[in-house]
Structure formats: structure tokens, C-alpha cells
Amino acid sequence: MASIASAAVIGGGVIGGGWAARLALNGIAVKVYDPAPDAERTLTDIVENAARALAKLSPSLSLTRGAITFCASLEEAVAQTPFIQESVPERLAVKQAVHAEIGKFAPAGALVGSSTSGLLPTHIQASMSGPERMFVAHPYNPVYLLPLVELVAGKQTGAQTISKARQLFQSLGMKPVVIRKEIDAFVGDRLLESLWREALWLLHDDVATVDEIDDIISHSFGLRWAQMGLFMTYRLGAREAGMRHYLNEFFAPCLKWPWTHLMDVPELDAALVEKIAEQSDAQAGDRSIRELERIRDDNLVAIIRALRNSGAAGWGAGAVLAEHERRAAQTAPGLRPSGLRPSGLRLLEAPVQPQWLDEHGYLSDTGYADILCQSIQALCHHLGMNTAHFGLRMDQLKLNRTLDLDSLMDIYCTVRPIAWDDVRLQTFHQIHRQADGQLLATAEMTSIHMDLRTRRECPVEEPALERLKTLAEARPAPPH
């Protein structure tokens, strides 16, 4: 559970909207200020995309959504707010003016982050009252899925500010990395800038096209970097000889070869801009930005989920997700009857996925099983089971279709316990069409509680059994 109840987002574009989504989908009430006429529409689209992605990433983390309120002034947004995240355009004068206003109206103990990609916090906080509250919190797009946030202190940033910020972002399911020295563009963007410069030269010199450069990245070292990063990857290349031998024998001489343009950069003249734009348009084809965002999000969800399941505690971004789920389960409030529907606890909301459909475009048996397994895993998280090492495995399934599902539907699934002992759980599920609540299918499932390390059944811990009993007694079991 997040360590704050409310937050303010100043600037509601792509990054600000991403922050609003991550905060709201962690149960935090968000106040937004952005005077742009289309700000509300832009942010609403981003939050809808984020909710869709999070429901697929981890159904148990999308149970509670904080309200998002658009404010008429910056003062209204930041007043009585413990955390303010600024995401206005990347111009120093603009950011200085906004932070000067935030300094006037924000509570004395509030944390004030800036989403700048490279401006120094010392410069941003120069005209701000209470500059000890201000720091850089630089995320990566999409903010609601990518967990990394770079934290950078300015010269006037208070000693405890970064520590408190680290705790806050961890509670949001992020991986905060404190940058040790204040430096232009911090760490991530400096690395990206090096690759970007070289890519521009390769394009400028007609060595490769936009499509070919992207294929080379996404089909090779991009996949490696998703789970191990640069130095660990090279360590594997060094093998038993070790990094010292690898660096001395391979990298020491080749770093002197003229392989790259280093700090040189081609001029972005009209011809180069047009070349990039034409190739980028061809690369996107007839897919809209919204479609491309959803493709990107679906791919990121698949990668992060795979990394979460790659070991007992996950790996890379997957380990961050597993830890966030564990903390959320431990700190979740007790189950309240008023939060339940007669059919059970609503634990999964998602669009029907292409892989769930058969050759005729209808939901296959495998698709139904996947939906029901996701809902039972969400119940496992909600009950506070230690999902890093334990989980529920489907043993038996009885399915009754009421109406065919197709790819045009968004669905939700409710779950209610029927019977259980310390190892087995029988549950009743209903799958509904999200638009109107139409019942699409019902199912009874028997699941076995497993130790994922030994692959053997094991007893459920007593606190989870008590929460299970509370949930079952909250409403009469539905007929079946």
C-alpha cells in the first residue's frame, strides 16, 4: 500500500499523465493542474491505457483506484498535498516559475519532484521557497509500467528528502535509483544519448534505415538488457576468465578503434529530419499512436510478467513487481462485506486477448482457463498469500458458457470461495461483459495450494485462511 493518500500532478501530458495513472492505480487520490485545453482528454486516455495494462500485469494490484480531480489552479492542486510531481515542458525558466509557485502553496513537509530529463535540480529550485523539499524524480515512459525512477538531489535538497522519496516510490511499485552526483541528463539519458547519436550517424550515412536499426536493437542486445543490463551481460561474455581478463584483452584495445563518432553528432538539417520522418511514418504504417501504445504496453506486460515468474523472487523489473505484490498483500486492509458484490469479489478486468480466441474468433477453452487462472491468482494476492514462493494451481474446472466472448469485449471476473481446507480451495467464478454486466460464463474451480520451490502441495498460512473465511461469510454463496 502506498505511503500517502493523496498527491498532485502539475502538467498532464504524456509523463504527467503517466504519473497520474501510476498514483491513482495505487489507490492514491490525484489532483491535476494543467491549463492546456485538451489536458483532461489526454490524461484520461493515458489512464485508461494504464488501467488496461495493469489489469493484465497483476490483477490484484488494480482493485482500488484513487479518484482523479482536475483543478482550476496550481494553488488548489498542491494545497494540503503531501507529494507533488511536476511534469511541465523541459524549459528551465518554465520549471523555475512553476516551482516558485509550488513553493508558495505546498505544505511545508511536502515532497516536490520534477520529471525533468536532464535539468539540474539546483537550477530548478533556485527561486523556490522551501527548496529543501525539491528533488528530481526522472521516470521512463510509460511511467505506469516501467519501474525505474532516477532520484537526484540539488544543493539545497534536504538530507531526509531523498530518503523519504525513495520510500514513497518503492511503495508505488517502482525501482528508485539515487544518482550519486548532480550531473546533466543524469545516468539513463546520458546512456541513451550515446546510442541515439550513433543511430543518427548510421541513418545519415545510409548505413541502415530506421526499421533496420530498431530491429537490430529489439532482436539482440535489447532483449538482453531487459533482464540483465550492460555489465552483467558482459560478465557472461567474459565467462570463467573473468571481467579483468575480458576488459584488458578485448575492451582496452577496441576502445581506441574508430568505431563510433563519440561526441560528434550529425546536423539535424531539413534533409535528415525529412529522412527520419518519412522512414518513421513508413515504419508505423496505418497504426495509430493509441494502437502502438497498446502494442508497446502488451509487450512490456508480457516481458515483466515473464521476469516475475523467472525464479522464486523474480528478476529485474519482475522482481520489483513481485515485491510490490507482496507488500500490497501484507498491507491490504481487511476484507469488508460492503466491498463485495452478490456474485463475489471483482478481481479481474481486462479486454479479451487475441491469444484467447480460436480460429473462429470465439474464446477457446484455453482462453477461459487463462481468465479463471488469472482471477484465482488475484484472489491469492488479495488474501495475502506469499506469492513469491506459494501459489494456487488449478486442479479441476467445470465451465458453463452463457454467451460467446469475442475480441470486441472487455470483461471482468468475480470470484467467491465455496469450500476449502488447508490445501484445497473450491471457488465459484462469473465472467461478465464490462459494458453492461451481461453474464457470459460461470465456472467452478478447485485449486491446490503449492510451494513453488518444491512443486508440492502445502498448507495455507492461518492469516490467509481467516481472510478467506471472512470473504466467504460476507454474502451467501451463489447458487450453482
Residue 477 grid cell: 454463496
Work out the average pLDDT over 254-279: 75
The answer, as to whether pTM is greater than 0.75, is no
Answer whether 6-178 and 333-473 agree in fold.
Answer: no
Alpha carbons 290 and 296: distance in angstroms, whole number: 10
Distances (CA, A) of 76 to 28, 84, 105, 153: 17, 12, 8, 26
Alpha carbons 8 and 105: distance in angstroms, whole number: 12
Work out the average pLDDT over 413-441: 87
Alpha carbons 177 and 161: distance in angstroms, whole number: 14
Predicted local distance difference test score (pLDDT) of residue 335:
37
pLDDT band at 118 (very low <50, low <70, confident <90, very high): very high
Distances (CA, A) of 278 to 216, 271, 442, 453: 19, 11, 50, 51
Alpha carbons 414 and 376: distance in angstroms, whole number: 10
Alpha carbons 225 and 221: distance in angstroms, whole number: 6
What φ, ψ does residue 93 adopt, rounded to 5°? -60, -40
Alpha carbons 327 and 273: distance in angstroms, whole number: 47
Distances (CA, A) of 469 to 105, 335, 372, 378: 47, 10, 21, 17
pLDDT band at 191 (very low <50, low <70, confident <90, very high): very high
Delimit the domains of the chain by residue range.
6-178, 188-285, 333-473
Q: Which single residue is written with the C-alpha cell 578503434?
A: 257
In DSSP terms, 411 is beta-bridged to 350, 433
Q: Which single residue is written with the C-alpha cell 467467491?
A: 416
Residue 375 grid cell: 482471477
Q: How many residues does the chain have?
A: 480
- pLDDT tens column, 97-111: 999 999 999 999 999
Alpha carbons 72 and 76: distance in angstroms, whole number: 7
Residue 50 grid cell: 494504464
Predicted local distance difference test score (pLDDT) of residue 192:
92
Alpha helices in 72-129 (DSSP H): 74-78, 92-105, 121-124
Residue 275 grid cell: 529522412
Alpha carbons 81 and 31: distance in angstroms, whole number: 9
Is 7 strand, coil or helix? strand
Work out the average pLDDT over 288-305: 87
| Strand 6-10 with 29-33, pairing | parallel
Q: Which amino acid is at 346?
A: R
Work out the average pLDDT over 32-56: 91
Is 352 strand, coil or helix? coil
- pLDDT tens column, 197-225: 999 999 999 999 999 999 999 999 998 89
Question: If you average pLDDT over each of 142-146, 372-376, 385-389, 431-435, which comes out highest?
Answer: 142-146
Evaluate the omega torsion of the peptide bond into residue 142 and state whether it is cis, within 30 degrees of 0.
Answer: yes
Predicted local distance difference test score (pLDDT) of residue 111:
97
Closest CA to 142 of 347, 324, 290: 290
CATH architecture under which domain 6-178 falls = 3-Layer(aba) Sandwich (3.40)
pLDDT band at 405 (very low <50, low <70, confident <90, very high): low
Closest CA to 275 of 185, 204, 195: 204
Greatest CA separation found in the chain? Answer: 75
Alpha carbons 136 and 199: distance in angstroms, whole number: 28
- Determine the CATH number of domain 188-285: 1.10.1040.10
Q: Which single residue is written with the C-alpha cell 457470459?
A: 440
Long-range contacts of 34-38 (CB under 8 A, 24+ apart): 34/10, 34/70, 36/12
Work out the average pLDDT over 82-111: 96
Long-range contacts of 315-320 (CB under 8 A, 24+ apart): 315/227, 316/226, 316/227, 316/228, 316/229, 317/146, 317/147, 317/175, 317/226, 320/147, 320/173, 320/174, 320/175
- pLDDT tens column, 390-401: 677 888 889 988
SS (H, E, C) 294-351: HHHHHHHHHHHHHHHCCCCCCCCHHHHHHHHHHHHHHHCCCCCHHHCECCEEEEEEEE
Written out in words, the top-level CATH class of the domain with range 333-473 is alpha beta
Alpha carbons 82 and 99: distance in angstroms, whole number: 15
Predicted local distance difference test score (pLDDT) of residue 146:
95
